[in-house]
Structure 1
Amino acid sequence: MEIGLIHIYCGDGKGKTTAAMGLGIRAAGRDKKVLLTQFLKDYDTGELISIEKLGENFCVVKGEPVRKFFKFMSEDEQIHTKNEHEKRFKEVTQKSIDENYDLLILDEIIASTNLELIFLDNVVEFLENKPKGLEVVLTGRNPNEKLVELADYVSEIRAIKHPYEKGITSRVGIEK
Structure 2
Amino acid sequence: MERELTEVYCGNGKGKTALAIGQSIREAVQGKSVIVIQFLKGCEKRSLDFLEDLDNLDFKIFRFEKRDCCYEQLTEEEKAEERSNILNGLNFARKVVVTQECDFLLLDEILGLLDRGIVTVDAIIDILKQKDESMHIVMTGWNFPEELKPYVDTITTLNSEEVHHSCEQQ
1:91 aligns with 2:98: no
Shift of 1:99: 5.1
Correspondence for 2:9: 9
Correspondence for 2:128: 127
* TM-score, scaled relative to structure 2: 0.86
Q: Provide the rounded CA distance (Å) in 1 between the counterparts of 2:62 and 2:73.
A: 25
Tell me the alpha carbon deviations over residues 136-157 of structure 1, each in whole angstroms, 9 at most, x when there is no partner: 1110101111123421111111
* Equivalent position amino acid for 1:30 in 2: Q
Shift of 1:66: 4.0
The question of whether the paired residues in 2 share the 8 Å contact of 1:7 and 1:153 is answered with: yes
Correspondence for 1:62: 63
Larger mean CA deviation between 1-10 and 79-88 belongs to 1-10
Correspondence for 1:136: 137
Q: Structure 2: where are the runs of 5+ without partners?
A: none
Count of residues in Structure 1 that have an aligned counterpart in Structure 2? 168
Q: Provide the rounded CA distance (Å) in 1 between the counterparts of 2:136 and 2:128.
A: 10
* Equivalent position amino acid for 1:83 in 2: S
Q: Structure 1: where are the runs of 5+ without partners?
A: 172-176
Tell me the C-alpha RMSD between the 2 structures: 2.4
Shift of 1:60: 1.2
For residues 92 and 56 of structure 1, do their structure 2 counterparts lie closer, same or farther at Cα, with a shift above 3 Å needed? farther
Q: Provide the rounded CA distance (Å) in 2 between the counterparts of 1:62 and 1:54.
A: 21
* TM-score, scaled relative to structure 1: 0.83
The question of whether the paired residues in 2 share the 8 Å contact of 1:9 and 1:138 is answered with: yes
Segments ≥4 residues shifted beyond 4 Å: none
Shift of 1:158: 0.9
